Amino acid sequence: MIEILSHEFFAVLLFVLLAIFLLAGYPVSLTLAGTAIIVGFLGYFADLFPIVLLNVLPNRIFGLVTNETLIAVPLFIFMGVMLEKSGVAISLLENMSKIWGKIRGGLIYSILIVGVLMAASTGIVGATVVTMGILSLPLMLKWNYNRKISAGIICASGTLGQIIPPSIVLVLLADIFQGANEQASQITGDLAPTPVSSVDLFAGAILPGILLVIMYTFWIIFCSILNPKNFPIKSDSKEKINLKNLFLTILPPILLIVLVLGSILFGIATPTESASLGALGSLLIAFNKGITKEVLKSVCLETLKINSMVFFILFGASLFSLVFRGFGGDLMVENFLTDIPGAKINSLLIVMITIFILGFFLDFFQIIFVIVPIVGPSLISMGYDPVWLAIMFAINLQTSFLTPPFGFALFYLRGVAPKEIKTSDIYSGVIPYIFIQILTLLILFKFPQIVTWLPSKL
């Protein structure tokens, strides 16, 4: 029995217990920390884990809470929640539907445009999908749009929040990949690795994000030509378009996105400084729309909840990865990936499939805090560009969140969809967009310069 106990055994036991506790419904942050402590002490009693290693944890947590890049997270969260709850999305959709109402499939284009703007503004997938579902699904049913097409475009446009900058996800990925890049440099012996920053990931995500939106648009145009009856025209619309109101509605969020993203990309401000600008700008937009004290209180509480969730998971993941490395798990993963027969593409493929499957059960924060630090260094040391790898991971998870039957975006929409929308309608509606995103991944693999060109120029 004692011969069975080894460093590898405890490293695997960590993930087995983690999966069991998560499936049992325990909170993720506490599960990560609790599993690490339990297995750490079991390893200590088996004389396989140096318990003194846990003394490093306070320094790691202090490093996290004082990390200047991560200060941008609560500010971007505040910006997104404020724009969601202040009615900006409602105004955008109402005005867009007036413009596109007399064009075949016009409401679909309106939802895609508003979805892109909301994605760039909030960066929170759940918030975007829920908001768009509440606002647009009843209207689409009223206009007799095909239910599958309606559900599909809402889920697809909502998940763009992960890849279109400025995004909370990209800020967190930048911090994680910076650490992974430093570990990879130790493996390869590179004493001066090129740093990975939020600016790099924001720049790298712009062209893939635009590519996705263009492919979505072409798919909608193709479907509207193939089956025009599924894309009705609001011919009875007598609403007059007030260009002044339209301009005043669309301009503020677009201007805010341009200011925040532009100040980062052109080196005028750091991501944290730009995030504070975004938070202030969203507050000014909300005050201009007559925000109430109750709404402001609700925004602050929601920001606190989301931010607490993110950092608690980050703390738990930090302890989990510390114990995992204490058992030599990082070396085990590195040896496993490097020993896979064939080219290095096989290692990347296995990691991408694993992350895709994990996306069914874990949300983005859990995966990037736990999995990326483990597999990232090995893949980067094989020669993969860390910025390109981060964007591939982001789109991969975006695809996972759309995939039936476990996709998170599907659950979000199901929770707010009218009774007329069946679960099968949602599942069928997202399938074309899943293939579009897989095609995007293949294009980015074949032409990585789509991701790396803009960061290299900046």
**Tokens of residue 24, six digits:** 């049992």
Give the residue, 48 or 115, on which the prediction is more confident: 48
Residue 451 pLDDT: 93
The confidence band for 65, taking pLDDT boundaries of 50, 70 and 90, is: confident
Q: How far apart are CA 28 and CA 32, in angstroms?
A: 6
Tens-digit pLDDT profile for residues 288-315: 777 788 888 988 898 888 788 778 877 8
Which 8-state DSSP code applies to residue 407?
Answer: -
Q: Which pTM does this prediction carry? A: 0.77
Give the residue, 450 or 373, on which the prediction is more confident: 450
How large is the greatest C-alpha to C-alpha distance in the chain, in angstroms?
80
Q: How far apart are CA 441 and CA 395, in angstroms?
A: 7
Using the predicted structure, report yes or no on whether residue 235 has a pLDDT greater than 70.
Answer: no
Helices 423-446 and 386-400 sit at what angle, rounded to 10 degrees? 160
Q: Is 169 exposed, middle or buried (0-12, 13-18, 19+ CB in 10 A)?
A: buried
Using the predicted structure, report yes or no on whether residue 242 has a pLDDT greater than 70.
Answer: no
**Tokens of residue 281, six digits:** 């700008």
Tens-digit pLDDT profile for residues 115-134: 787 776 666 666 677 777 77
Tens-digit pLDDT profile for residues 4-29: 678 888 888 888 888 788 777 777 77
Both ends of the chain: CA-CA distance in Å? 57
Tell me the mean pLDDT in the region 65-72.
76
Residue located via tokens 């911090």: 175
Mean pLDDT of the chain: 81
Those residues whose C-beta lies under 8 Å from the C-beta of residue 214, and which sit 6 or more positions away, are: none
Q: How far apart are CA 333 and CA 337, in angstroms?
A: 6
Residue 103 pLDDT: 75
* Region class of 144: left (phi > 0), else alpha (psi between -120 and 50), else beta: left
The confidence band for 101, taking pLDDT boundaries of 50, 70 and 90, is: low
Residue 402 pLDDT: 85
Q: How far apart are CA 259 and CA 257, in angstroms?
A: 6
**Tokens of residue 26, six digits:** 């325990």
The confidence band for 234, taking pLDDT boundaries of 50, 70 and 90, is: low
Using the predicted structure, report yes or no on whether residue 1 has a pLDDT greater than 80.
Answer: no
CB 157 within 8 A of CB 430: no
The confidence band for 441, taking pLDDT boundaries of 50, 70 and 90, is: very high
Q: How far apart are CA 14 and CA 36, in angstroms?
A: 7
Tell me the mean pLDDT in the region 95-108.
72
Tens-digit pLDDT profile for residues 327-386: 887 777 767 776 777 667 888 888 898 888 877 766 677 677 778 888 888 888 888 899
Q: How far apart are CA 345 and CA 429, in angstroms?
A: 31
**Tokens of residue 457, six digits:** 């120029």
User: Looking at this protein, which amino acid is placed at residue 209?
Assistant: G
SS (H, E, C) 396-429: HHHHHCCCCCCCHHHHHHHHHCCCCCCHHHHHHH
Tell me the mean pLDDT in the region 263-288.
83
Q: Domain extents for the chain?
A: 1-49, 71-457
